[in-house]
Amino acid sequence: MNDLERLLARDAIRDLAHRYAVALDARDLEGLVGLFVEDVQVGRSGRGREALRADFERQLRAIGVSVLYVCNHVVDFDDDDHAHGIVYTRAEIQDGPRFVIQAIQYHDRYERRQGRWYFVRRRHRLVYGAEVGENPMRLPPANWPESYTGRGTLPGSLPTWQAFYRRRRDPEGGG
């Protein structure tokens, strides 16, 4: 790759991490699994986006609201179609009655297929997790802009969030 192509590739790869955070927080499973190669390895025995979707579904059912902040992102190229990187992420996660913060490093592998970059693998490495003093999801509504503090309307007003939790009540998707 020339310098411009490398710059554009780096930007496309960094965009994967941002899209991952937005899709995960919105519970947009289609968008989330679409960031990975079609034949992604899931655990020791699973393979493919459907297996990945089921794994994300299982993981995300165990938590409430999440907010991922993508921070430092270093990308190194192995060749024109393969790269690896480290992404720092700060997460705020509702865990039942608790709210926790986490500092995370994702160790990623990327591959370009048919001109588009995808995750091949994403390894979550926890730096730390700590409970926050007050669970913000238990606050009264903020009624923005009347009040600067309180619970907002997201993510509950997002269509993907609503669909994800509708499936929880009715796994067949009937509501």
Q: Tell me: the pLDDT tens digits for 91-103?
A: 999 999 999 999 9
pLDDT at 169: 60
pLDDT tens by residue, 68-83: 999 999 999 999 999 9
CB 104 within 8 A of CB 127: yes
pLDDT at 171: 47
What is the percent of the chain where pLDDT is above 90? 80
pLDDT at 102: 97
> Can you give the three-state secondary structure of the chain, one letter per residue?
CCHHHHHHHHHHHHHHHHHHHHHHHHCCHHHHHCCECCCCEECCCEECHHHHHHHHHHHHHCCCCEEEEEEEEEEEEEECCEEEEEEEEEEEEEECCEEEEEEEEEEEEEEEECCEEEEEEEEEEEEEEEECCCCHHHCCECCCCCCCCCECCCCCCCHHHHHHHHHHHCCCCCC
Phi, psi torsion values for 15, nearest 5 degrees: -65, -30
- CA–CA gap between residue 106 and residue 65 (Å, rounded): 20
Domains of the chain, each with CATH number or no CATH: 3-135 (3.10.450.50)
Contacts of 48 (CB under 8 A, 6+ apart): 38, 39, 40, 42
Predicted confidence (pLDDT) at residue 167 exceeds the cutoff of 80:
no
Q: What's the rounded mean pLDDT across residues 102-117?
A: 98
pLDDT at 143: 86
CA distances from 74 to 27, 71, 83, 87 (A): 26, 10, 10, 7
- CA–CA gap between residue 115 and residue 79 (Å, rounded): 14
Predicted confidence (pLDDT) at residue 164 exceeds the cutoff of 80:
yes
pLDDT tens by residue, 132-146: 888 888 889 998 888
- Here the tokens at position 12 are 């496309």
When the pLDDT of each residue in the chain is averaged and rounded to a whole number, the result is 93
pLDDT at 23: 98
